């Protein structure tokens, strides 16, 4: 089954929830994993089930990176806020590197996320 990770900086959490709502039918056909707070918010505000890792500040993004290394993640949506990201929020650089090494797509913008999800839908034969 297709496995997608969902991560968002604090300022982008409303945007990732909007994306999850818009793509809820598609995302419901995937296994979803997320960092602690992002996963909790998506679960509370949609009908989606998200396997929650630790929060980003304590290593949730690193746990997701380990799943990339293990070949367990098919794509990552990491909506980041490059202008107001707080020091406690996860840093994308290590996750980006590991995705590049293992050829796993990672979207950092809402438009990129749409392309990533539409691409996974096409690859899996599920309508987005």
39 labelled ligand-binding: no
How distant, in Å, are the alpha carbons of 33, 47, 65, 78, 108 from that of 44?
14, 8, 24, 19, 23
Please give the Cα distance from 70 to 61 (Å, whole number): 14
Contacts of 95 (CB under 8 A, 6+ apart): 61, 64, 65, 68, 76, 78, 106
How distant, in Å, are the alpha carbons of 56, 58, 76, 107 from that of 72?
19, 21, 11, 17
122 labelled ligand-binding: no
Q: Is 61 a catalytic residue?
A: yes
112 labelled ligand-binding: no
Q: Which residue among the candidates 10, 18, 25, 61 is catalytic per the annotation?
A: 61
88 labelled ligand-binding: yes
93 labelled ligand-binding: no
102 labelled ligand-binding: no
13 labelled ligand-binding: yes
Annotated binding site for substrate: 9, 13, 35-38, 55-56, 88
Annotated binding site: 9, 13, 35-38, 55-56, 88
Residues labelled catalytic: 61
């Amino acid at each position: 089954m297709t496995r997608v990770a969902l991560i968002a900086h604090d300022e982008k959490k409303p945007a990732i929830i909007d994306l999850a709502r818009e793509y809820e039918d598609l995302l419901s056909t995937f296994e979803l994993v997320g960092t602690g707070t992002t996963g909790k918010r998506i679960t509370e505000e949609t009908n989606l089930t998200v396997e929650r890792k630790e929060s980003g500040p304590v290593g949730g993004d690193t746990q997701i990176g380990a799943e990339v290394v293990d070949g367990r993640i098919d794509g990552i949506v990491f909506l980041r806020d490059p202008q107001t990201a707080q020091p406690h929020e996860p840093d994308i650089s290590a996750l980006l590197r590991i995705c590049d090494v293992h050829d796993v797509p990672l979207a950092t913008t809402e438009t990129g996320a749409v392309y990533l999800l539409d691409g996974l839908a096409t690859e899996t034969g599920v309508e987005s």
